[in-house]
Amino acid sequence: MALSVEKTSSGREYKVKDLSQADFGRLEIELAEVEMPGLMACRAEFGPSKPFAGARISGSLHMTIQTAVLIETLTALGAEVRWCSCNIFSTQDHAAAAIARDSAAVFAWKGETLEEYWWCTERCLDWGEGGGPDLIVDDGGDATLLIHEGVKAEEEYEKTGKVPDPESTDNAEFKIVLTIIRDGIKADPKKYRKMKDRLVGVSEETTTGVKRLYQMQETGTLLFPAINVNDSVTKSKFDNLYGCRHSLPDGLMRATDVMIAGKVAVVCGYGDVGKGCAAALKQAGARVIVTEIDPICALQALMEGLQVLTLEDVVSEADIFVTTTGNKDIIMVDHMRKMKNNAIVCNIGHFDNEIDMHGLETYPGVKRITIKPQTDRWVFPETKTGIIVLAEGRLMNLGCATGHPSFVMSCSFTNQVNMSTNTHVS
């Protein structure tokens, strides 16, 4: 991998797919602004006083059109911004191009490799002289994780002289994280500690990231203040619920063109995301079955007329499977083997470990047929039947469609801006 940073004529760094898409991105950003009254009101209210003047903000959050409006709100309030995506498939390249050209340092493109992904994250955090950002806007906690792992490794190195060993882990992605940190220590053994020292705090966007933070808080390993944006009612009860109600069918339609009416759809998990997904599928005419381990959420599903079963009960009869749990190992390769021909399997939870992609990829004799990017048919050797997996098990609404629509993201992101505003660097 030989990635190199490029620079705009004004000297700002970036790495995007195609800067020539900036005009197209700008047109869609302008449309989105009309749909994002919360952010635009922030600009009107806080723009003149520039509360972020002098502040550096690093964001690790899907680099979409909506995020572009967030970024330009932050810059309108005075901030300097560097950005990367928090998912390898979620970048909209025209959005990245417009921001890179006009407003902030962007390191993101649709279809990154994992190596590229973490390179982008590291670029996003690296402000050169004077340490890292003042604030992090995180979604899923990868930026936060990199700093924490970096600090831990630097302290170990200082004590014992040992650098991190990528071979010490089986986890393919964590190997990459360790490699990046190892290389960083060689260049500057205080890099991540300088970041930590400068950092005022992080605001975390999503359920999964928040869970990570609470775990660190409990174990006393959290290195800086964190703000839970996710649990704002205008985030989790809007973005998770209404956002997914919109973007799940959008992703299904763009990826597969399949008729949802008349299908049997299984929604794994009936939290806010699951409720939005189930509502969307039911309204589109599917018969929805819910799997859920929380008894209260299960009872809510029943009250809405949904059948609650285990995945095993229905694995061979359903047409569409969606994971929304925020937990791992929900749909395993052994489930997938038993599914109907052309059953659709997808995930709309934050991380890609709800679906056992590793098990599928390494299944003996399995054959992958790429219908189009982010839509693969996997054929099992015994049955010759195939299943359709979307976005390689990652967030299907961002991988196969364009994520949540602007209006609901305005609700979410206005929380981000106000959280940041409240904690601005004085």
Tell me the catalytic residues: 62, 85, 90, 139, 205, 230, 235, 239-240, 244, 350, 404, 412, 416
Q: Is 150 exposed, middle or buried (0-12, 13-18, 19+ CB in 10 A)?
A: buried
What is the full DSSP assignment across 257-297? ----TT-EEEEE--SHHHHHHHHHHHHTTPEEEEE-S-HHH
Query: Of 390, 395, 385, which Cα lies nearest the Cα of 273?
Result: 395
Asked if residue 246 belongs to a known ligand binding site, the reply is: no
* Residue 326 assigned as binding residue: no
262 labeled part of a ligand binding site: no
Contacts to a copy of itself by CB under 8 A: 24, 27-28, 31-32, 34-35, 65, 233-234, 237-238, 242, 245-246, 249-250, 253-254, 256-262, 282-288, 296, 299-300, 302-307, 341-342, 369, 371-372, 377, 388, 401-402, 404-408, 411
In terms of Cα–Cα distance, which of 215, 335, 351 is closest to 343? 335
Q: Is 239 annotated as a binding residue?
A: yes
Closer CB to a copy of itself, 45 or 304, in the complex: 304
Give every strand in the sheet of 105-107, ordered side by side. 6-7, 13-15, 105-107, 80-84, 56-60, 135-138, 201-204, 226-228
> What does the alpha-carbon distance between residue 137 and residue 174 come to, in Å, rounded to a whole number?
21
235 labelled ligand-binding:
yes
Amino acid identity, position 112: E
Give the span between the Cα atoms of 15 and 336, in whole angstroms: 37
For the chain, what's the residue count?
Answer: 426
Nearer to a copy of itself, 202 or 286 (CB): 286
Task: Give the three-class secondary structure for 185.
Answer: helix
Q: How far is the CB of 230 from a copy of itself (least distance, A)?
A: 16
Q: How far is the CB of 234 from a copy of itself (least distance, A)?
A: 6
C-beta of 146 vs 280, nearer to a copy of itself:
280
At its nearest, how many Å lie between a copy of itself and the CB of residue 414? 12
The minimum distance between CB 258 and a copy of itself, in angstroms, equals 6
CA 145 to chain centre: 14
The dihedral built from the CA positions of residue 323, 60, 200 and 237, taken in this order, carries a sign that is negative
Q: What is the largest distance, in Å, between two alpha-carbon atoms of the chain?
A: 66
Is 152 within any annotated ligand binding site? Answer: no
* 206 marked as binding residue: yes
Helices (H), 338-384: 357-361
Q: Closest separation between CB of residue 410 and a copy of itself, Å?
A: 9
**Residue 8, number of CB atoms within 10 A of its CB:** 13
Question: 272 a known binding residue?
Answer: yes
Radius of gyration of the chain (CA): 21
Between 32 and 213, name the residue whose CB sits nearer to a copy of itself.
32
Strand partners of residue 368: 378
For the CB of residue 43, give the shortest distance to a copy of itself in the complex, in Å. Answer: 17
Measured from the CB atom, the residue of 223 and 260 that comes closer to a copy of itself is 260
Judged by CB, which is closer to a copy of itself: 144, or 412? 412
Known binding-site residues for NAD(+) equal: 206-208, 271-276, 292, 348-350, 397, 404
Known binding-site residues equal: 64, 139, 205-208, 235, 239, 271-276, 292, 348-350, 397, 404
Known binding-site residues for substrate equal: 64, 139, 205, 235, 239
